[in-house]
Structure 1
């Protein structure tokens, strides 16, 4: 995979990505960064929030809602969490 270079003087947001392994069974409720996605790599998970719960399986991708939420692994699961950590 290749990334295109940013235009000179462009303001590029900071992005972080991490794989959350199966042994982290739960992420307690927390606030949302400016933008985030959750990609299930293996297993099944449940995203909990005031707007309702969403269950996802391997291969599914979700834009995380901009509200407090938590994450629960329903079985042996691993997810890729990608966040925008700051916006210029």
Structure 2
């Protein structure tokens, strides 16, 4: 069992002190289900990448933007959204931490 509040602070701190402004850890794995905590310092970005077959993002702290071909999804603390099933990037508007839940095989 993991303490999400503690993970939020840990990955916010790690991202702000990392040279590339990012921190991440796979915190739960169960068959094709993966949950990862990702921290991004203000302005840091996960460059464009493919989406898994199914995924969602829950913002634990801060504000992020998911940018894909279909547009931009702006999310703030406490907001939950499906990840678009297209190539996309993720950018931190402010120091942010989010929980990515992904299914890697359907």
Alignment TM class, shorter chain as reference: 0.7 to 0.9
Structure 1: state its 5+ residue gaps: 1-11
- Measured after TM superposition, the shift of residue 22 of structure 1 is 3.0
State the number of aligned residues: 77
Larger Rg: 1
**How do 1:22-41 and structure 2 match up within 5 A?**
22-23=40-41, 25-41=44-60
TM-score (norm 2): 0.67
RMSD between aligned alpha carbons? 1.9
**Higher RCO (CA-CA < 8 Å; seq separation 6+):** 1
Runs of 4+ in 1 over 3 A off after TM superposition: none
Structure with greater helix percent: 2
Structure 2: state its 5+ residue gaps: 1-29
Corresponding residue of 1:20: 38
- Measured after TM superposition, the shift of residue 13 of structure 1 is 5.8
